[in-house]
Amino acid sequence: MRLLVSVRSATEVAPAVAGGAEIIDAKEPSLGSLGAVSAATLRAIVLALPSTLPLSVALGDPADAASVAEAFAPLAGVAPHASETYVKLGLASVRDVSAAEALIAAALEAASRAPARPAVIVVAYADHTAAGAPPRDVVSRLAAAAGARGVLLDTWMKDGRELFHHVGLSELRRWVVDAKREGLLVALAGSLSAEGLKQVADLPADVVGVRGAACIGGREGAVSEERVRRLRSQLDERALQPV
């Protein structure tokens, strides 16, 4: 399972990489679960990122096709990356399935025109009712039908409650298995604690994403090399345990 660490600036890239992050995610935590960084910040993060590591970019929760185009605008200055590039698109406040389909289609179209040709990851929220978003099963079905690269399950409200406050381990495992059966890359996040990370590590997901657990001072703090290394070690130790 690959470890994704969200950074809000270029200065956080080095400690994240040194600690063992395998995907660097550009995100502004003060703007919510999928807060987008500015175009200038994104360019700086890309310059600081080793070419061998994948780049992920949070695009927020666009409301319509025009908002999707606006969210993709900073990617116009991002050249093709030697490794993978991903964009994360949320569906908060999009209750209508047809509207969600249209947003995903708009994102795929915008991605095809962006210089980096990023793969689209559609974000489902474990607390989808609060987010006004479609349930996770619907999101994974729509992502697969549209041809998106993958799906991420996250928490919309960043109030200290982690992923497992909203979804049990057995139903989460079932969702992961079903999404992978659809051919999707599956990522999990959501204010995960050390114990939550252990549970996620036992699931057949491809990626686990963290921000707060990797920082001194929580998600609004600064990425710590030591904390990232500890998280990477936890994942590695779990992977070595007999099933």
Distance CA 243, CA 241 (A): 6
Q: Distance from CA of residue 235 to its chain's centroid?
A: 17
Query: For residue 225, is it left (φ>0), alpha (ψ between -120 and 50) or beta?
Result: alpha
162-134-30 Cα angle (round to 5): 45
The reply to whether 27 belongs to the active site is: yes
The reply to whether 88 belongs to the active site is: yes
CB 55 within 8 A of CB 46: yes
| Amino acid symbol at 197 | L
CB 48 within 8 A of CB 84: no
What is the set of active-site residues?
Answer: 27, 88
